[in-house]
Structure 1
Amino acid sequence: MPLRLAPTFRARLAESARPLIGMWVTSGSPVVAEICAGSGLGWLLVDTEHSPAGLETVESLLRTIAAYPITPMVRAPSGDPVALKQLLDLGAQNVLVPMVDSAEQAEAVVRAVRYPPRGVRGVGSALSRSARWNRVEDYLTKADEFTSLFVQIESTAGVADAAKIAAVDGVDGVFVGPSDLAASMGLLGQQTHPDVTAAVLGTFEAVRAQGKPVGVNAFDPAQAQRYLDAGASFVLVGADVTLLAQGSEALARRHPRNP
């Protein structure tokens, strides 16, 4: 029998009656990824931009996460067509591209994830996990159904062009990154600064006006709730390495070392 792939993140958002809450997986550890996958959260973001995870690691993480009822997304290191092709081929159905500052950049990454004649993605389905080595029926003709593409706005330029970016055909949603956005505004490390928050909320309005879902990174619980109240459809509220760092520090505070 032909194999079936999991629903995309695009489909999950469309069918969900509530926002999807998720967390980052940046450690590269399959053990940690499995623990996170069984948490009951709605989605996981496997990062390759600010983590040590390479292609083999990402493939291992996706296999691990696939055993659980949670949707993984992979953040590419950049919008480079080769990097995107490799992530798609190893089985990433949902891809997030960072640092998209314009509609032209968004159009370029859409082409990178689509097969010709609509795009430039290289054809290697018989060799790759994406099509389960050609065991997924009609993968090549239905590839757009099996994948979803999200872009990350995290600069003042991206905020200014948010409506045009969201309107690009093939962009399934926008994720806002307050950390780099704050830096681009001269407010490094101040993700909850009122000006940064205002820029995020303005981006929400621009994206939602185009009929596209919008998400955001918000580790601060009050800030996360503010963004949810403003219409965020998907939010990242923590990270594996952050939880481990904070948890181990809490243990150390409760059990301080002897002088």
Structure 2
Amino acid sequence: MAYTALPNSFRRDILARRRLIGCWSSLTSHITTEILGQAGFDWILLDCEHAPNDLTTLIPQLMALKDSRSAPVVRPPANDPVLIKRLLDIGFVNLLLPFIESAAAAQRAVAATRYPPLGIRGVSNAQRCNRYGAHAEYAQQIHEHLCVLLQIESRAGIDALDEILQVPGVDGIFIGPADLSAALGHFGDPGHREVQAAIADIHARSHAAGKAVGILTVVEADARRYIEQGFEFVAVGTDQALFRSATQGLRERFPSDGPME
């Protein structure tokens, strides 16, 4: 069954802490995103932080996923209320907010997704999110269907985690291994024992607070280990890495004779 904006079955599954397998999408193409959707992933992360996505590339990707079982999740480039507002207006209901380092930042993230008086989201009555005005009950219904996931990827985020977890409206925690390893002094080595200890600590404290926990890895053995450890939503690869690996492997299987003299 396809994930739909309302009701948001992805949020339901996150709150129930069901296992959800996802894939990271950075190629900014509605065609590659549609292919990912056809593969049957539970969720697909459309990245705006480290990929050149914008509203004009995201809308066709949302359209490409509308008949897929894959739930679209978007990561804006920053925890910015204007960016969040625009992503909500084009139809996203699942957001992963990067680099959260305090309860105040978590509160700002949640507030940016809520209309007043619950938050600060700007009001527009004719956007893609409400079928350009045809869904008259959208504003009354949307708050209970929004999924807000927060990314912990720094020492400050780890230190503030217990307070972040108590912020109403936070549905899940996501761990960014690359930034976390850099922040802990082990750039490029997310498998370092100190990084893995921090990941385990974030996981344990988040679970104790009743929150689902997610992570990204492109290493299959690591993905299986995280799943065995009890991570609920795991991105097991990226479209960019898959494409590069497949094309590089194909080329290497067909060597040429080399350059002509």
Per the normalisation by structure 1, the TM-score is: 0.94
1:135 to 2:148 alignment: no
SS of the residue corresponding to residue 46 of structure 2 reads strand
Question: Any residues of structure 2 matched to 1:83-232 within 5 Å, and which?
Answer: 83-124=83-124, 126-232=125-231
Gaps of 5+ in 1: none
* 1:8 CA displacement: 4.4
* 1:39 CA displacement: 0.2
State the distance in 2 between where 1:8 and 1:78 align: 25
What is the root-mean-square deviation in Å for CA atoms of aligned residues? 1.6
Q: Residue 13 of structure 1 corresponds to which residue in structure 2? A: 14
Identity among equivalent positions (%) equals 38
SS of the residue corresponding to residue 132 of structure 2 reads coil
State the distance in 2 between where 1:52 and 1:168 align: 31
* 1:148 CA displacement: 1.1
CA contact (8 A) 1:9 1:73 kept: no
Distance 1:158 1:28, change over 3 A: same
Gaps of 5+ in 2: none
How many residues are treated as equivalent by the alignment? 255
One-letter code aligned to 2:153: E
SS of the residue corresponding to residue 204 of structure 2 reads helix
The C-alpha deviation readout for 1:20-60, integer Å capped at 9, x for no partner, is 11101111111100000010211100001111111111111
CA contact (8 A) 2:15 2:171 kept: no
State the distance in 1 between where 2:156 and 2:227 align: 24
CA contact (8 A) 1:163 1:209 kept: no
SS of the residue corresponding to residue 133 of structure 1 reads helix
The C-alpha deviation readout for 1:49-102, integer Å capped at 9, x for no partner, is 111111111111111111111111001111110000000000011011000011
Moved more, 88-97 or 225-234: 225-234
* 1:163 CA displacement: 2.1
State the distance in 2 between where 1:21 and 1:143 align: 25
* 1:257 CA displacement: 2.5
One-letter code aligned to 1:87: L
One-letter code aligned to 2:156: A
State the distance in 2 between where 1:231 and 1:161 align: 22
One-letter code aligned to 1:213: A
Moved more, 155-164 or 243-252: 155-164
Q: Residue 38 of structure 1 corresponds to which residue in structure 2? A: 38
* 1:6 CA displacement: 5.0
One-letter code aligned to 1:181: L
One-letter code aligned to 2:39: S
The C-alpha deviation readout for 1:102-155, integer Å capped at 9, x for no partner, is 11110111111111011100001x221111123224211222123211111111
* 1:9 CA displacement: 2.3
CA contact (8 A) 2:45 2:74 kept: yes
Per the normalisation by structure 2, the TM-score is: 0.93
